[in-house]
Amino acid sequence: MMNGKLFCISGPSGVGKGTLVKELLRVDPTLALSVSCTTRAPRKGERDGVEYFFISREKFLETRDNGGFLEYDEHFGNFYGTPVDYVLDMMSNQKRSVLLEIDVVGALSVKERYADDPDVKVVTIFISPPTQAELESRLAHRGSEDAAQLGLRRERVQFELEMCAKYDYVVVNDDFNRALAELNDVIQQEKNK
């Protein structure tokens, strides 16, 4: 049986990718979601092992130095990394496709890392807002960041939107159900290739 595929889903903060991914897992329960490690503090309501594994900086650097991350990056002063063991176990032993919800730099580096590996097929999908104005308003209303954090995140949005041309697919989150259906179609098609 073929290995599972590795789907990297990115998009600017506030675009709604978290909710899309959650629904996608309900629609296709064979998909496995990789939970990243981060050194940032949990936001209200976030649970260890669910949204992220919340770990110390020391532990993060130790894991990184031991080759424990498929990729990692630093955002807003905190580290984020994808645990390599989980991803490879799901794909090669359990034959399941894996979703990574990671930023643009991480996604493109995963794509590049496996570009010449016939056993690991990486598909990158960018979730884009219908307009930038709409995204700004969603970010401001989320209320989970202070003003300085929000400013940094806005600058980052600009950068991320410019990177979408490098993705295999771009799905516009204009209408939630439509976007979910399109995302699911892309994934089912790629899974069966």
Contacting positions for ligand 5GP (CB under 6 A)? 13, 36, 40, 71-73, 75, 80-82, 101-103, 106
> Toward ligand 5GP, which CB reaches closer, 82 or 173?
82
> Toward ligand 5GP, which CB reaches closer, 48 or 188?
48
- CB of 90 within 8 A of CB of 96? yes
- Please report how close the Cβ of residue 35 comes to ligand 5GP at its closest, in angstroms: 9
C-alpha distances out from residue 3 to 76, 96, 110, 137, Å: 35, 7, 17, 41
DSSP state of 164: G
Question: Which residues in 52-183 belong to E strands, given as ranges?
Answer: 53-54, 69-75, 78-83, 98-101, 122-128, 169-172
- Please report how close the Cβ of residue 192 comes to ligand 5GP at its closest, in angstroms: 27
- Please report how close the Cβ of residue 87 comes to ligand 5GP at its closest, in angstroms: 10
**Measured at CB, which residue is nearest to ligand 5GP?**
106
CA distance 4 to 119: 9
- Please report how close the Cβ of residue 10 comes to ligand 5GP at its closest, in angstroms: 6
> Toward ligand 5GP, which CB reaches closer, 80 or 167?
80
> Do strands 78-83 and 69-75 pair parallel, antiparallel, or not at all (unpaired)?
antiparallel
> Toward ligand 5GP, which CB reaches closer, 101 or 182?
101
